[in-house]
Amino acid sequence: MTGLSRRFGRRRALDGVTLTVGPGDCLAIFGPNGAGKSTLIRILAGLLEPSGGSARIAGLELPGGPAVRGMVGLVAHHSMLYPALTARENLVFVAQLFGVRNPRASAAAALERVGVLDRADTPVRSLSRGLQQRVAIARAAVHAPRLLLLDEPFTGLDPDGCAGLTEILAERRRAGGASIVVTHQLADALALATHVAVLYDGRVVRYEPRGTVDPDRYADGYRELVAAGG
């Protein structure tokens, strides 16, 4: 991402964001409400056009065509699932759209990783919020994307769900895939990330490799930063 910006009317949601996420990296982005985190995710998912600047995935400009969309997996605020269909049907549908060679096997494998295989044939509307979130995570990963975008992925997850998410991110990292996690849950995200950034008022005000960060002191530093207005 280079100088990425986005305006909604007169309001500037993103203001010159420049970040790079390499293969195998997991970037955690923190920031208060309205900082522009979800806008950034929606631009990278191809759902919003930037007002300025540019973003590339594996050299392909965003918002691109089917080739670039096929490289991205998205966990958004909403589950993007069909409540009337079962968890398995939802994932098979997505796998088919993404041209996965064996949609049923890939769907089953993704559901197993998040621990929902035993409820695979239950309609999504009958699953608890946490289980729906797990299915949404499996949905994002069913086609083994090169870039996984996760907007508040910990919402509703219990420790088992968090473990499933951690496993998926670790597997993506081993496969050379990158991920961007946008969240308020500092401790959970710090455990996963290779890099951390803070977005405030649409700008990146802090960016550093995770290895240079002391998790215990990072939360205090983050709160002070936000309280001081970035």
Selected from 3, 16, 46, 52, the binder of other proteins by CB under 8 A is: 46
**Can residue 81 be called a binding residue for other proteins (CB under 8 A)?**
yes
**Can residue 211 be called a binding residue for other proteins (CB under 8 A)?**
no
- Coil, strand or helix: which one is 165? helix
**Can residue 59 be called a binding residue for other proteins (CB under 8 A)?**
no
Per-residue binding string, other proteins, 95-114, x by CB under 8 A, is: -xxxxxx-------------
- H helices of the chain, in order, are 37-44, 66-69, 87-97, 103-113, 129-141, 159-174, 186-192, 215-227
Selected from 52, 63, 115, 130, the binder of other proteins by CB under 8 A is: 63
**Can residue 78 be called a binding residue for other proteins (CB under 8 A)?**
yes
- Minimum distance from residue 179 beta carbon to other proteins (Å): 15
Q: How many other C-beta atoms are found inside a 10 Å radius of the C-beta of residue 169? A: 22
Task: Let me know if 121 is exposed, middle or buried by CB neighbors in 10 A (0-12, 13-18, 19+).
Answer: exposed
Decide: 208 and 196 in contact? Cβ < 8 Å: yes
What is the footprint of other proteins within residues 21-40 (CB under 8 A)?
A: none
Region from 41-49, 170-178, 198-206, 211-219 binding other proteins, contact rule CB under 8 A = 41-49
